[in-house]
Every structure is written in structure tokens, then in C-alpha cells.
């Protein structure tokens, strides 16, 4: 039950962050509203069969996102090779671009890889 509570809390925090940025409202009020108005009624349902179509919708959304990201990756939009950057990466300021280091696979076998 503790894991379930923590999962619900994490999910409500993600929803609250999303809605507060979309609606430009405060995070605490949005967190309380989302938890009370959206998640609590879902948790009180005795039969979850009515949520099945929304599960399918979620899977379809994740599939669409994966396909769109794969297409963008294959056409080089995410490329960050040296000075030549892809179209999407060029829109991000240089100091905000991610840096993953240059160790590659060797970094998996260091002691830092064990730190979560």
C-alpha cells in the first residue's frame, strides 16, 4: 500500500506540474485540485473496466510519440555532432544543450555507474 500511495503521489505531482505550467497557476493549488478532483474519484472506483478505452488511448499516444521521435532522429533533427547541429537542436541555446561526455560504453564499467 505504501508503494501504491507513493505512485499516486508521484503521478499527481507530474499532473500538477503539467497543469500548473499550462494554466499558469500556482503549483500547490493545482496539486490539491488535481488530486481531489481527478485522482480521488478514480481511486474510489470499484470496477476499473470503464477505464479500458483510456488505457488504449494512452498506449496509442505513446506509440505515436515513439514513432515521431524515431522519424526526427532518423532525419537528423536531434543531431549534435560538433558544430553541425540538427534543426531542432539548433533552436536550443548552446548553454542548455545536453552533454553526455566522451567515455561511451566505458562509463558503464566505472564505479560511478552504480550510484543511483
Inter-residue contact 17 to 34 (CB < 8 Å): no
Inter-residue contact 80 to 86 (CB < 8 Å): yes
Residue 80 makes CB contacts below 8 A (sequence gap 6+) with 86, 89, 97
Instruction: Express each pLDDT in 32-52 by its tens digit.
Output: 888 888 888 888 888 888 888
Residue with cell 478532483: 37
Q: How far apart are CA 40 and CA 64, in angstroms?
A: 29
Instruction: Express each pLDDT in 58-91 by its tens digit.
Output: 999 999 999 999 998 888 877 777 667 777 777 7
pLDDT of residue 83: 65
Instruction: Express each pLDDT in 4-23 by its tens digit.
Output: 788 888 888 888 888 888 88
Cell of residue 83, nine digits: 558544430
Residue with cell 560511478: 112
Q: How far apart are CA 39 and CA 36, in angstroms?
A: 6
Inter-residue contact 89 to 77 (CB < 8 Å): yes
What element of type H or E holds 65?
helix 52-74
Mean pLDDT of 98-102: 68
* pTM score over 0.75: no
Amino acid at each position: 500500500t505504501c508503494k501504491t500511495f507513493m505512485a499516486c503521489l508521484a503521478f499527481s505531482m507530474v499532473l500538477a506540474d503539467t497543469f500548473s505550467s499550462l494554466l499558469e497557476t500556482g503549483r500547490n493549488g493545482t496539486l490539491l485540485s488535481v488530486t481531489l478532483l481527478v485522482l480521488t474519484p478514480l481511486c474510489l472506483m470499484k470496477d476499473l473496466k470503464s477505464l479500458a478505452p483510456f488505457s488504449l488511448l494512452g498506449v496509442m499516444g505513446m506509440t505515436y510519440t515513439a514513432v515521431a521521435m524515431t522519424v526526427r532522429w532518423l532525419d537528423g533533427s536531434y543531431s549534435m555532432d560538433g558544430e553541425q547541429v540538427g534543426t531542432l537542436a539548433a533552436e536550443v541555446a548552446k548553454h542548455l544543450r545536453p552533454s553526455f561526455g566522451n567515455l561511451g560504453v566505458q562509463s558503464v564499467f566505472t564505479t560511478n555507474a552504480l550510484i543511483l
